[in-house]
Amino acid sequence: MKNKFRIGNGYDVHQLAEGRKLYIGGIEIPSEKGLVGHSDADVLLHAICDALLGALALGDIGRHFPNTDPAYKNIDSKLLLEKVYELISREGYEINNIDAVVVLESPKLAGYIPEMRKTIARILECEGEQVSIKATTSERIGFTGREEGAAAFSTVLLIQKEN
């Protein structure tokens, strides 16, 4: 028997380095450093993917899109989110809401959040008000505070689609 509601949480982290573009929330953000990864390293979209997959006990992003597979080299993480949402939809669920936070010392993300919300809502076929994104620093503490990387956390609530 399917549960009407399913909740999942996700976490992702990537190192920052010069010479890479910075993608967070499906958009490019001007910055001297970008996130390093097999894909475009969009830490927020990866955390949301893991939360969606976790809600339905479908494993994690690495299981579905392994960093050893050349097919995913430099892939746009929006495509990964689309593929994850297809899995969720096939299982008979849709987004109730998403709450996410990005931890990054610099650059400041507040001005980019509306576009991130719009981009994510479009991919997940929901309304912008169903997607909450917050940004914070770690007050110069730890790897994010030293500007060595970024982290993102996401919680999602899925609801079973009505027939």
CATH number for the domain including 125? Answer: 3.30.1330.50
Residue 134 backbone dihedrals phi, psi, to 5 degrees? -120, 155
How is residue 81 annotated by DSSP?
A: H
SS3 readout for 49-67: HHHHHHHCCCCCHHHHCCC
At 118, list the tokens: 């719009």
Q: Judge whether 30 and 107 are in contact, CB under 8 Å.
A: yes
Query: What is the bridge-based pairing of β-strands 33-36 and 27-29?
Result: unpaired
**Which domain, by its residues, includes 50?**
5-160
Sign of CA dihedral 36, 40, 97, 3: negative
Query: Per-residue pLDDT for the chain (163 aa), expressed as one digit of tens each?
Result: 578 999 999 999 999 999 999 999 999 999 999 999 999 999 999 999 999 999 999 999 999 998 888 888 889 999 999 999 999 999 999 999 999 999 999 999 999 999 999 999 999 999 999 999 999 999 999 989 999 999 999 999 999 998 7
Give the model's pLDDT for residue 51. Answer: 98
**Count of domains in the chain?**
1
The amino acid that residue 58 corresponds to is L
